[in-house]
A and B are shown apart, each in its own frame.
Chain A
Amino acid sequence: MNPAYRKGRVLALLGAILILIVIDHLNSPTFAFNSGQGNVQTALSQKDDSACAPCGAPCPSTRD
């Protein structure tokens, strides 16, 4: 049975996603922190206990 896909397309798509992830990371506070830049807040251990939902939404009762 012939494959239903082209290998080149699969590799190109996955490669493009990896490049985008790397570019995003190189421009992030976490990369700056890892590069020795101090006083940078990263999201690595971020938890918002005051949020009312997993997406960080506030509680309806706190809204004006």
Chain B
Amino acid sequence: MSEVAAPTSAIQSPWQVDRFVVVTALVGFALLGGLIWLETAPFMVALFAIGTVLGIALYHGAFGFTAGWRNLVVHKRGAGMRAQLLLFGVTSIVMVPLLYSGQPGLIGAVAPVGTSLVVGSFMFGLGMQLGGGCGSGTLFTVGAGNLRMIITLVFFIIGTVLGSIHLPWWLDQPGFDPVPLVASFGVTGAIVLQLVGLLLIARWVSRIERKAHGQVASDELLWKQKGQGFWRTLVTGRWPFTWAILILAAGNILTLAIGGAPWSITFAFNVWGAKALQAVGVDMGQFEFWQWEYPAMALKDSLLTNIPSVMNFGLLLGAMLAAGLANRFNEASRNKLQGRPFLAAVVGGLLLGYGARLGFGCNIGALFSGIGSASLHAWIWFACAFGGSYIGIRLRPWFRLPN
């Protein structure tokens, strides 16, 4: 690749912004933010704003877990994967001590280990590659106007509701209670153990890349994009991975500090789907999941009091704003969706939803926040989801999806 230095202005295309999309996203942010401010509490507005910033970071950082895993398997490129590992490491260094500082009201993303987790995370990984995104990836691409991902999201929601109905049965299969690593190794020991684990995976990823390409392109460590000034990169993207890593880590830590629990996405899909079914006359209270205290209350009360929902609304608007600033809103939807790619969105969405419920969350709630909470279940989730993802990648050509 040529590395000839050129004046920045000579290689930059004219800076175009989609004003309609930007203004619509800002008006939506003001309307919904105002409603949350009036009807709930200031900390919910803060979480809504954090969700918005996370949406911008995911879009501008092109921080997709799905593509990162696929790039490693198919193209033997590991920058995306190593960026994720770096994100987990940075977050856990701050989040684990915060969680175990003795401050009241903080709950980590810990979950049982067993059949439900293994099956659910494997299904989720498979669904990631067919659906075209994970939990965060589906949301930020929907916010950016991707029609295919709207199909995935709809079936994602249906899948989570089905999963919630079946979860009690899965919980009765072999399994055991959550295993917080801090209980066995202490705070420092758990952090060190996790960092060693992440480092070993990073070395494995780099070895694959070096074997295939002769060298490792450490894009995940870049602080500056070539050929663009700071402000233009900040406003229109694409951000270096390091920027996205810092924003996503800070966002998750602030979510824990303000909301009392780490960042999660898919529980909101559960609530949205269950509320839709209730609206057409289905009594969700007949199902055991919706009799448990937390889901029952979330179903009964306003979406504006449900932290995952409020943050998801912010994320959608943030991604929309970012896509408008980059003048790329709806850009991925120019080709009509039909046939097998449509089927992949349906099947992928269902697997994502059902898997997320059985696996106690998605790549954010179970993996990112789980490692940030030093919970064993997150590591098992990671391994099983990667296995499912590997099979999903092999299935993509049959669905006429590019690898």
Contacts and interface: CB of A to CB of B under 8 A. Distances in A.
Question: Are both chains from one complex?
Answer: yes
A54 to B, nearest CB: 5
Interface in A20-62: 21-22, 24-25, 28-31, 34, 41-44, 46-61
A14 interface: yes
Looking at chain B, what size class is its interface with the partner chain?
35 or more
A54 B267 contact: yes
Contacts of A47: 105, 107, 260-261
Contact of A60 (B105, B175, B306): B175
A28 B24 CA distance: 27
Contacts of A63: 171-172
Interface string B365-401: 1000100000000000000000000000000000000
A59 B24 contact: no
Contacts of A16: none
B360 interface: yes
B12 interface: no
Contacts of A43: 297-298, 300-302, 305-306
Contacts of B20: 3, 7, 10
Contacts of A34: 39
Interface of B: 18, 20-21, 24, 28, 31-32, 35, 39-41, 44, 105, 107, 109-112, 114, 145, 164, 167, 171-172, 175-178, 260-261, 264, 267, 270, 275, 289, 292-295, 297-298, 300-306, 313, 329-331, 333-334, 357, 360-361, 365, 369
Given A25-B304, A44-B41, A54-B361, 19 more contacts: A3-B18, A5-B329, A21-B303, A21-B313, A24-B303, A29-B301, A46-B298, A47-B107, A47-B261, A51-B293, A53-B112, A53-B360, A54-B264, A54-B360, A56-B292, A57-B167, A59-B177, A60-B171, A60-B177
Closest 8 CB pairs of A and B: A56-B294, A28-B302, A43-B301, A53-B111, A5-B330, A4-B330, A48-B294, A25-B302
